[in-house]
């Protein structure tokens, strides 16, 4: 299905040659899945058509599906999916953040390429290719290593010096990559999350790595928390747009209404974090997104509401400063195969 989403705009352009605007969305999806199978599977073409026709009977559109697919197969050698067509909303979001044509071009090209995966060591290892901690994840996960994107690693490595003390509240901590990395830098992490499935993954990770971190199931926005903190890490829930290389389906799911809902939750989570933060304390806000609503737009609202909050400067040659925060620059990791795109800002409570 990844190839379906990587090429979804190309497939949209192809089927427009055979259908009209009145064609139901369900039929369009069936046709695009079939085109994906034609280009990327070894399944016989007749089998693809037969199964699609049979499935489309539930929509009473089997004749249309049969006609379109047979016409497409007669002409499919003349169609190309080498053109890098991308949904407009994705390009617009990218253009708002990255002014460099070189970087934008690299990001758009990344949509169509399967990414490298990375693993992070618990300790420095001279054999690792980036800051003695990052290695490629090819076949098997090494002992004393955990899965994390190189961009994610860079964020924690760059912001760890801001924390005022070694005790950190990690909000939305599961499945645990950031908590584990912070613990290797000597921090004592108090981890919370509301998703039991993610908590289960967190516990599996820390058990395998023999890392001493406790995680508690809590809904951060409603849970009773009786103490305050000098250091809080908030990796807020978001659209995950920045993970488009590994999850290309997010490209076609950019929805302004959903993004606005996300923004409301993100603002509420920062508001709650600031209540729990001591004066002089540090809050690090992270999302794996580069859409304005979830990044700079969130921090704009926070700075308007809270006049006692200032934004700290982050030192990293792998990030690009934009307004009130920083974005991981995937082009800076080009020699390793790129990275996901994250947004991070460090807020200090005066």
> What are the tens digits of pLDDT across the range 6-64?
888 888 889 999 999 899 999 999 999 999 999 889 999 999 999 999 999 999 999 99
Looking at residues 205-216, what average pLDDT do you find?
96
* Residues 38, 51 contacting (CB under 8 angstroms): no
Mean pLDDT of 280-286: 98
Query: Which CATH number fits the domain 118-349, given the four candidates 3.10.450.50, 3.40.50.150, 1.10.3720.10, 1.20.1630.10?
Result: 3.40.50.150
Which residues have CB under 8 Å from 7's CB, separation 6+?
36, 39, 81, 112
3-state secondary structure 9-24: HHHHHHHCCCCCCCCC
* pTM confidence score: 0.89
* pLDDT (0 to 100) of residue 4: 79
Confidence check: pLDDT of 81 > 90: no
Bridge partners of residue 216, in order along the sequence: 192
Q: Which tokens is 271 given?
A: 């508001």
pLDDT band per the 50, 70, 90 thresholds, residue 84: confident
% of the chain with per-residue pLDDT over 70 = 99
Task: Calculate mean pLDDT across residues 103-132.
Answer: 96
Give the closest residue to 159 by CA, choosing from 350, 345, 1: 345
CATH architecture label of 2-78: Orthogonal Bundle (1.10)
Give the C-alpha separation, 279 to 158, whole Å. Answer: 22
Residue 226 or residue 78, greater confidence: 226
Task: Please tell me the predicted confidence (pLDDT) of residue 49.
Answer: 96
The predicted structure's pLDDT at residue 80: 72
The DSSP letter of residue 99 is -
Residues 6+ away with beta carbon under 8 Å from 107: 94, 98, 330, 331, 341
| Residue 115 per-residue DSSP state | P
Q: How does the average pLDDT of the chain come out, rounded?
A: 95
By mean pLDDT, which of 110-114, 125-129, 207-211 is the weakest? 110-114
For 328, phi and psi rounded to 5 degrees? -60, 135
Tokens 């000098």 belong to residue = 230
Confidence at residue 209, expressed as pLDDT on a 0 to 100 scale: 97
Whether 83 has a pLDDT exceeding 80, the answer reads no
| Both tokens assigned to 182 | 């912070």
The pLDDT assigned to 213 comes to: 97
The residue-averaged pLDDT of 296-308 equals: 98
Q: How far apart are CA 153 and CA 159, in angstroms?
A: 10
198 band by pLDDT with thresholds 50, 70 and 90? very high
| Gap between the Cα atoms of 274 and 227, Å rounded | 12
| Measured distance CA(151)–CA(118) in Å, rounded | 10
pLDDT band of 197, cuts 50, 70, 90: very high
State residue 10's pLDDT score. 85
Both tokens assigned to 191: 């981890």
76 Cβ contact partners less than 8 Å away, ≥ 6 residues apart = 38
For 137-157, what is each residue's pLDDT tens digit? Answer: 998 999 999 999 999 999 999
Percentage of the chain beyond pLDDT 90 is: 87
Can you give the residue ranges of every domain in the chain? 2-78, 118-349
Query: What's the CA gap between 346 and 11, in Å, rounded?
Result: 41
Give me the pLDDT at residue 1, please.
63
- What pLDDT is stored for residue 73 in this prediction? 94
């Amino acid at each position: 299905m990844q190839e379906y989403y990587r090429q979804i705009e190309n497939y949209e352009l192809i089927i427009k040659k055979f259908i009209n605007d009145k064609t139901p969305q369900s039929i369009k999806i069936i046709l695009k899945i079939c085109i994906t199978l034609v280009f990327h599977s070894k399944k016989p073409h007749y089998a693809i058509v037969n199964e699609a026709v049979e499935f489309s009977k539930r929509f009473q559109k089997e004749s249309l599906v049969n006609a379109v697919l047979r016409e497409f197969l007669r002409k499919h050698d003349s169609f190309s999916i080498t053109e890098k067509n991308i949904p407009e909303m994705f390009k617009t979001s990218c253009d708002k953040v990255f002014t460099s044509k070189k970087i934008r071009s690299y990001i758009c090209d990344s949509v169509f390429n399967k990414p490298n995966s990375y693993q992070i060591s618990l300790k420095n290892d001279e054999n690792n290719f980036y800051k003695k901690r990052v290695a490629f994840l090819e076949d098997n996960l090494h002992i004393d290593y955990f899965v994390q994107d190189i961009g994610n690693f860079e964020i924690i490595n760059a912001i760890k010096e801001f924390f005022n003390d070694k005790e950190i509240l990690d909000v939305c901590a599961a499945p645990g990559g950031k908590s584990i990395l912070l613990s290797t830098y000597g921090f004592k992490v108090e981890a919370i999350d509301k998703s039991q499935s993610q908590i289960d993954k967190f516990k599996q990770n820390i058990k395998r790595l023999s890392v001493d971190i406790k995680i508690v199931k809590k809904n951060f926005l409603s849970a009773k928390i009786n103490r305050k903190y000098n250091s809080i890490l908030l990796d807020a829930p978001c659209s995950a747009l920045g993970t488009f290389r590994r999850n290309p389906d997010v490209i076609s799911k950019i929805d302004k209404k959903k993004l606005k809902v996300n923004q409301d939750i993100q603002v509420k989570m920062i508001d709650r974090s600031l209540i729990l933060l001591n004066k002089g304390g540090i809050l690090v806000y992270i999302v794996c997104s580069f859409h304005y609503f979830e990044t700079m737009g969130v921090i704009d609202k926070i700075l308007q509401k809270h006049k006692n909050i200032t934004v700290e400067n982050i030192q990293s040659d792998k990030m690009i400063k934009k307004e009130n925060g920083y974005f991981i620059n995937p082009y800076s990791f080009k020699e390793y195969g790129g990275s996901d795109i994250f947004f991070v800002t460090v807020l200090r409570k005066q």
